[in-house]
Amino acid sequence: MLRVIRDLLKYDGRFRFAFVFLLAVLILAISSAISPYDPGRTFKVPADQPPSLQYPFGTNSRGQDMLWWMAFALRNSLFLGLMTAVVSRVIAIFVGLTAGYRGGFVDRALMSINDSFIVMPVLPVLILLSFLLRGRMSLVMLALILGLFGWPWDARLIRAQALSLKERAFTRTAVYSGTGSLKITLNEHLPFVLPVVFATTVANMLWSIGMEVTLSVLGLSNVELPTIGTAIFWANQHQALVAGIWWWLAAPVVVAIVLFLGLYLLFSSVNEYIDPRTRLRLMGG
């Protein structure tokens, strides 16, 4: 892993930008642990103060320091993205490897379920669930729901890999030696699909954080919980732009741009690195 990071830092400018952006995001998120303010408390600092040395991101109309509030928001948004990615990766790996290796009826049945999730309109379903669970939609529950909808495209990629691995000589050797299907998929096939899993994990985090922002801006999530989306929601509720408090809306937008750009550059860089042909071209081979 360290060798991969070293190569990417040396040869890929996109990864260097991603590294800087995500490092800044992580530092801000981790700093929430030393915050002098409770994000749930209001009017702890003077309201509507513009950005300054004392308040780098300014303060909002609710008397909250936007720097520390965004630290909590980033921490929660990253937790949501990671938990969603873990849940959806587990489902995608199970479905993709099982369908690709077993084939036949199992493959057809799993791919029918997979395709049903692909064509399902996710946003309207999430809006409906948010209405039904309004007031009870915790961050963990939202991550689980997003994870249940975020796996089908990646399962197809993993299945395609598994179909290829199934025909390799080492798979036949494992079958002839009496190795069970579960051990073959976990011990022989899973290591080959891990690069794809990692690359799609980053893309899934982008998707899940974006969906949370969409639901929060519409007021369909727990708006009392600090996230990037709820920061934009409260700015809109208080008509920050009309009142001239532009920094209230600028803080979550800038943080979101840095986070999304960092994750996108990381995804594109890693996605190119895992392909041997593009990796050789990248490293001057």
- Report pLDDT for 15: 85
Q: Sketch the domain layout of the chain as residue ranges.
A: 14-31+65-282
- What is the rounded average pLDDT of the residues 264-277? 78
**How far, in Å, CA of 174 to CA of 67, rounded?**
56
Q: What is the pLDDT of residues 135-189, one digit of tens each?
A: 677 889 999 999 999 999 999 999 998 888 888 888 888 888 888 888 888 888 8
pLDDT at 278 over 80: no
**How far, in Å, CA of 208 to CA of 212, rounded?**
6
- Report pLDDT for 285: 52
- What is the rounded average pLDDT of the residues 58-71? 93
Check residues 22 and 284 and name the one with the higher pLDDT: 22
The pTM is what? Answer: 0.88
- Report pLDDT for 280: 61
- Report pLDDT for 54: 92
- Report pLDDT for 170: 85
Check residues 279 and 9 and name the one with the higher pLDDT: 9
Q: What percent of the chain has pLDDT over 90?
A: 50
Give me the amino acid identity at 247.
Answer: W
Instruction: Name every residue whose Cβ is closer than 8 Å to that of residue 75 and which is 6 or more positions away in sequence.
Output: 29, 30, 32
pLDDT at 67 over 90: yes
Computed over every residue of the chain, the mean pLDDT equals 88
Check residues 284 and 233 and name the one with the higher pLDDT: 233
- Report pLDDT for 135: 67
pLDDT at 7 over 80: no
Contact 232, 217 (CB under 8 A): yes
- What is the rounded average pLDDT of the residues 225-253? 92
pLDDT at 40 over 60: yes
Contact 25, 258 (CB under 8 A): yes
Contact 275, 27 (CB under 8 A): no
Would you place residue 87 in the very low, low, confident or very high pLDDT band (cuts 50, 70, 90)?
Answer: very high
**How far, in Å, CA of 143 to CA of 152, rounded?**
16
Question: Per DSSP, what are the bridge partners of residue 65?
Answer: 59
- Report pLDDT for 190: 87
- What is the rounded average pLDDT of the residues 104-121? 91
Which numeric CATH code is attached to 14-31+65-282? 1.10.3720.10
Residue 59: strand, helix, or coil: strand
Hey, CA dihedral for 16, 255, 134, 123, is it positive or negative? negative
Selection from 215, 214, 209, 197 nearest residue 261 by Cα: 209
**How far, in Å, CA of 226 to CA of 258, rounded?**
18
**How far, in Å, CA of 123 to CA of 133, rounded?**
15
- Report pLDDT for 275: 65
Would you place residue 277 in the very low, low, confident or very high pLDDT band (cuts 50, 70, 90)?
Answer: low
- Report pLDDT for 127: 87
- Report pLDDT for 283: 64
pLDDT at 113 over 90: yes
pLDDT at 134 over 80: no
